[in-house]
Structure 1
């Protein structure tokens, strides 16, 4: 197999916008100015033999290797566009007529530069595609696609969002809050009875939404940075439960999710420090399900996905016990990820015929009351560097990893997945990668937004 597909994009296609919606491909030698630039067939992560596919399936289905599907490799390059081979899944159905995203390709985007700290120099979007393990990226401005390029996948391939998935449940939570069905100032245990009598009696729902519970068992801020790989860490123990099933229960503890969470302890007050933890997302998603009486995938489909004229159904991964894995498990095509991002922009009305999110909800997402919690944690330090021009002015809110002083919103995922939304300029940048998350696609996205607005 190819080593993260670091070769240059050797062939692209030119098709009009109508044909591009169908995924038809024709060979050409130039970057397309009328529609998407598609990958060379030989560069596709799915262009491998049946024997190689079977070997990847055997590898990840071995208990000791299941944890490795979280991290980039030649094997995950295939797995991340075929996750239904490795986990149970549930569909998120689309509905209605497909919403049109007309093409208005901006050729200048390929030459936009940003400072890549790994290379120590400014590089262009083209150079990023030529030298970094990015799978695809699309830019939508004022409801039109101004850039769309694929390197290792096709427009119809459904790629794993990883933690970009987290903002699906938090967005539903914001809708429930607006309707008075959830009070985010109440403790988590008010909604999840299994956690009553534990430290979660002292954790507000809002603190879980903002990744600032002050509890131990974090994902990146442990004394030893091995939360996702050490079977004795709280995070791993939670991930190994039947209700999650992300990793193998190699210690054979057979714990329940609530037993692990009840054992967590307070280390600092809430909303003091941004400490990233998928356990918080899991809690938020369970509250959504208790309040609505529906599984997360169904609520998300009815309230958001089905309203946007998506091209395809999406799907969530589920645990062995049937829980929707909303903290990492959404899979969709690239353009449909961008459509989801458009929910947070004025273009939502173009897709849905209505503003799905009220002005009050957007004001909540942009609220900066807890800005002081941001810079000291693992994720805050990282994105303060990525968005150095806005250092000291960045906050995080409702599962979004960064909300800039202009109100731009960014959500990342393991391996370099990303969604950058600029409501004030009506621009969305969405991308998939199979990297280590250190290639600063988020810096590139910010530079693109700033260059075209």
Structure 2
């Protein structure tokens, strides 16, 4: 799902000790059948915690999915550099509370399921939480958006999609919705204004309606709302601001983008990812995308991949689209994203934990001295690409709190220290 729009941090004292919720110790879904207290169903996909420690890498066992095939070509083996594991684990930096913290402590504090660090294409550090299967795809949540955004940018570069065209040129079903008058570019940059709230701590937020339409939880039998994504999106009305004025993060924009890409290409989102990217990466495993009750992929949240395959994708982006001996996306597409968006418009979202950032084509642009860009998902999913240092870090997590406001204050100094270590 998406990052919380407005959120405060939960004090560390109120979070469970990461050691107490290790996957190997929880023994969720063990036994034939599992005991009631160890069973995870769709109703418990997201809560209570620590169910996500199991469900985030077993999502297709709870929700319908569509395969994203790796194809029949060989695996692109990631080369490795020796001698870095302990250096990175012991790396010291100053945390947001002013106290010293090691990189290993940072990983533990962000409830990491798996993390991989590369420089110039070589793996320096790879670690999994005990009990997490390395070959089982993990849900990316909103990192999915950045994959879809890259594909949309590539279609723009090819001339197959006009960013100035109206959303309703492609999806007339939205003619009476909040996207009336919005352009494709405004959807890509999330500056189209709609009457929709995305606050996960609020049970009355519109994100609950989105979640039920997507099939993220059982729908009550007397629920009067839409029960699939393409029935739900047309019910969202216009916001109060003109389109293009302010950035506000809303997953429904990416669901509209997914609808547009289906119309432009004639392909499902899964097929588009498969044909354009996944079969070319030299991936180890098939990926998959989660589906709503009518078979539409969650374009804003539903991609599931393994850690090393996520690293292959991130390295392809770092290399401006050329990877595994072939051109996968154009360099121009990657550069268009890295240019960034409107930094003044970004301030409207109130995301003070991302100072100086902008949002462009479904990617987070840091505008720091190294030109780092990121893809982020709730509960701690992350791609971090630092082109100056040649650094890629990918992280899969099951943090108890959804919001990136919980993890970014730790990630920013940790990644800055990592970049400085590798710069030397």
Q: TM-score by structure 2 length?
A: 0.84
Indicate the residue corresponding to 1:431 in structure 2: 395
Q: Which string of whole-angstrom CA distances, capped at 9 and with x for unpartnered residues, describes residues 56-82 of structure 1? A: 7865334xx5xxx34672111011111
Whether the aligned pair in 2 keeps the contact of 1:101 and 1:144 (CA below 8 Å) is yes
**1:75 aligned to 2:38?**
no
String of CA shifts for 1:94-115, please: whole Å, max 9, x gaps: 1211101111032421122334
Rounded Cα–Cα distance in structure 2 between residues aligned with 1:376 and 1:239: 25
CA distance in 2, matches of 1:323, 1:57: 31
Please give the secondary structure, in 2, of the residue aligned with 1:375.
helix
Deviates more, 1:398-407 or 1:422-431: 398-407
Task: Call closer, same or farther: CA 1:72–1:359 in 2, change over 3 Å.
Answer: farther
Report how many aligned residue pairs link the two structures: 395
| Equivalent residues in 2 for 1:18-417, closer than 5 Å | 43=24, 49-50=30-31, 53=34, 55=36, 60-62=41-43, 65=44, 69-70=45-46, 73-95=49-71, 96-105=73-82, 106=84, 107-117=86-96, 119-152=97-130, 153-220=132-199, 226=201, 229-230=203-204, 233-241=205-213, 244-250=214-220, 252-255=223-226, 257-258=230-231, 260-346=233-319, 349=322, 351-378=323-350, 380-384=351-355, 392=356, 394-405=357-368, 406-417=370-381
Structure 1 counterpart of 2:421: 451
User: 1:281 touches 1:327 (CA, 8 Å); kept in 2?
Assistant: yes
Kept in 1, the 8 Å contact 2:30–2:38? The answer is: no
Whole-angstrom distance in 2 between the partners of 1:371 and 1:278: 20
Q: CA deviation at 1:452?
A: 0.6
Alignment match, 1:6: 18
Query: Does the 8 A contact of 2:176 with 2:234 survive in 1?
Result: no
Structure 2 alignment gaps of length 5 or more: 1-14
Distance in structure 2 (CA, Å) of the matches to 1:226 and 1:304: 35
* Contact 2:320–2:331 (8 Å) recurs in 1: no
Tell me, what secondary structure is at the counterpart of 1:7?
helix
Is 2:421 the counterpart of 1:442?
Answer: no
The 1:344–1:132 alpha-carbon spacing in structure 2 relative to 1, beyond 3 Å, is closer
Contact 1:346 1:426 in 2 (8 A): no
Shift in Å, 1:168:
1.5
CA shift in 2, pair 1:109/1:80, >3 Å: same
* Structure 2 SS opposite 1:424: coil
Query: Structure 1 CA distance, aligned partners of 2:277 and 2:38?
Result: 33
Q: Following TM superposition, by how much is the alpha carbon of 1:44 offset from its aligned partner in structure 2, in angstroms?
A: 6.6
Does structure 1 conserve the Cα–Cα contact (< 8 Å) formed by 2:280 and 2:324? Answer: yes
The residue number in structure 2 matching 1:30 is none
Output one character per residue of 1:336-381: Cα deviation in whole Å (capped at 9) or x when no partner. 11111112112853x3313323232123112245121123314x32
SS at match of 1:178: helix
Structure 2: distance between partners of 1:176 and 1:408: 23
- Asked if structure 2 preserves the Cα contact closer than 8 Å seen for 1:281 and 1:326, the reply is yes
Contact 1:383 1:402 in 2 (8 A): no
Distance (whole Å) between structure 2 residues aligned to residue 126 and residue 165 of structure 1: 26
- 8 Å contact 1:238–1:261 — kept in the other structure? no
CA distance in 1 between counterparts of 2:364 and 2:341 reads 15
- Residue deviations 1:177-213 (CA, integer Å, cap 9, x gap): 1111111112211110101244422111111111221
What 5-or-longer segments of structure 1 have no aligned partner?
10-38, 385-391
Do the aligned partners of residues 401 and 193 (structure 1) sit closer, same or farther apart at CA in structure 2, a change above 3 Å counting?
same
Q: In structure 1, the residue corresponding to 2:249 is in which secondary structure?
A: coil
Shift of 1:333: 1.1
Shift, 1:51, TM fit: 5.8
2:382 matched to which residue of 1? 418
Once superposed, what is the RMSD of the aligned Cα atoms? 2.8
Does the 8 Å CA contact 1:418/1:442 hold for their aligned counterparts?
Answer: no
Please state how far the C-alpha of 1:332 moved relative to its aligned partner.
1.4
Structure with higher RCO (Cα < 8 A, 6+ apart): 2
Cα distance, 1:246–1:422 mapped onto 2, change above 3 Å: same
